[in-house]
Amino acid sequence: MIRPSNSLLARAPVVLRRSFSTGIPRRNDHLPTTNSPIITKLDFFNSVTGNDTQIPTYRLLDGVGKPLDGAQLPEIDEAFAHRLYSNMQLLPTLDNVLYNVQRQGKISFYMTAHGEEATIVGSAAALDMQDEVLGQYREMGVLLWRGFTLDSVMAQCFGNEEDTSGKGRQMPVHFGSPEHHFHTISSPLATQIPQAAGVAYALRRSPTRRSKNIAACFFGEGAASEGDFHAGLMLASTIPSPALFIARNNGFAISTPSTEQYNGDGIASRGPGYGIDTLRVDGNDVLAVISAIREARKRCLEQGRAVLVEAMTYRVGHHSTSDDSFAYRARSEVEDRKRIDNPITRFRLFMESRGWWNNDAETELKARLKADVMKAFKRAETMKRAELGELFTDVYGGQEPWNIKEQRQELSRLVKKYGTIWEPWQKELSKFRNNGQDLMK
């Protein structure tokens, strides 16, 4: 057996280990000997805290809106508090109307944000208006905070001619607005997570936006079970970029409770594995969310690296209009959550303690929001869809490919053949601007 000389052994670093087969020292460069202490006792661990305690949750207000001992509240004035509360109340007002509208068959689908108002509005308030946002399904509140109008919300859900998100070709609540730096929502789960890493890298490479803006990515804890979650965090970690990943842990991935989704300590426990600064926050405490997202955004910009924030909340509403959540959870559980840990009520009690709110203001606000939403709804339902030919525009950039031309020609042939003689087609074509005449030429 050939053995190394004493001089070689003397020069060998501590990472040299003997091969089981030959006994010859070999280099294991992958061993993290400079950072990881050597132990001689088996010590399996299942928590990033290094012991059996769970990752802590950052909170500022208790369940009745009182600041916790030692809590440092973000600096907000009465006007800002009113804006926060108004936007939080607007979400359930919209949800209630559009949920009922879907049940009446006037729109095809809807998804509420009941119970997650503090997470969504608090995050929106903490971000810069120029930050790029890649949402999942429940982030309408971010757009509303940035000035997206109720008419625009209704236009997208009804798919009428004013829908700038997708010209009526996408499902309801799949918003998008370049003006508001809000990337169009996609139906496939978790696709926005690796996209956010790419957007953040593009911001890092942009001379005019470097160290000024970040990419904020929202997703549910169910989406974190997709491979795209790991691909996105890996990309943002190995090619450092200012991506802020905001996980809305609302307890359910449709009908699957979080207890059946993972065996670790939530989503936050995954961040350190990618070398990403991570924080868990009480997602029902709007002030804690604002502080958490502000600090997370600051770290993204200063370090040029990704940050993960897990917001712990609870989905009070059904997953969507295609779901009956009482088939997999007790109605009493939901009612208890509404009563005991309501994010809107918690912030209202905080404002009342400051003398910023009262019952008269509450009554006036709810009446005004309901009137505004109903006005937008009634306007949207009377509007026509875009021209039928818009179905084929903006599908690809550059020269129109042969398959799109072929599909337009085929639809044009059918419209000319049946559109003037068959009543069902006549009725459907009447819903479009110009009654489909653009394809009858």
Locate 120 and state its tokens. 């969504």
More confident residue, 294 or 15: 294
Same domain, yes or no: 396 and 281:
no
Number of domains making up the chain: 2
Same domain, yes or no: 94 and 174:
yes
Q: How confident is the model at residue 8 (pLDDT cuts 50, 70, 90)?
A: very low
CATH number for the domain spanning 93: value is 3.40.50.970
What span, in angstroms and rounded, lies between the C-alpha atoms of 375 and 190?
A: 34
More confident residue, 349 or 20: 349
Question: Tens digits of per-residue pLDDT, 85-133?
Answer: 999 999 999 999 999 999 999 999 999 999 999 999 999 999 999 999 9
Same domain, yes or no: 323 and 258:
yes
Q: Is 183 helix (H, G, I), strand (E, B) or coil?
A: strand
Query: What percent of the chain clears pLDDT 70, i.e. is strictly above it?
Result: 90
Please give the pLDDT value at position 35: 62
Locate 405 and state its tokens. 């031309």
Contact 408, 392 (CB under 8 A): yes
Q: Which segments of 58-77 does DSSP mark as H helices, in order?
A: none
Structural domain range at position 409: 388-439
Same domain, yes or no: 323 and 411:
no
Same domain, yes or no: 397 and 335:
no
Averaged confidence pLDDT in the chain: 90
Same domain, yes or no: 424 and 295:
no
- Give the pLDDT mean for 287-307: 96
Same domain, yes or no: 366 and 422:
no
Q: How many Cβ atoms sit within 10 Å of the Cβ of residue 271?
A: 24
Q: Is 373 helix (H, G, I), strand (E, B) or coil?
A: helix
Same domain, yes or no: 151 and 283:
yes
Residue 17: inside a domain = no
- Give the pLDDT mean for 194-204: 98
* Tokens 């996980």 belong to residue: 247
The pTM (predicted TM-score) of the whole model is: 0.89
Same domain, yes or no: 258 and 170:
yes
Same domain, yes or no: 278 and 160:
yes
Question: Tens digits of per-residue pLDDT, 43-52?
Answer: 766 778 777 7
The closest of 96, 155, 168 to 377, measured between CA atoms, is: 155
What span, in angstroms and rounded, lies between the C-alpha atoms of 207 and 203?
A: 8
Largest CA distance in the chain: 98
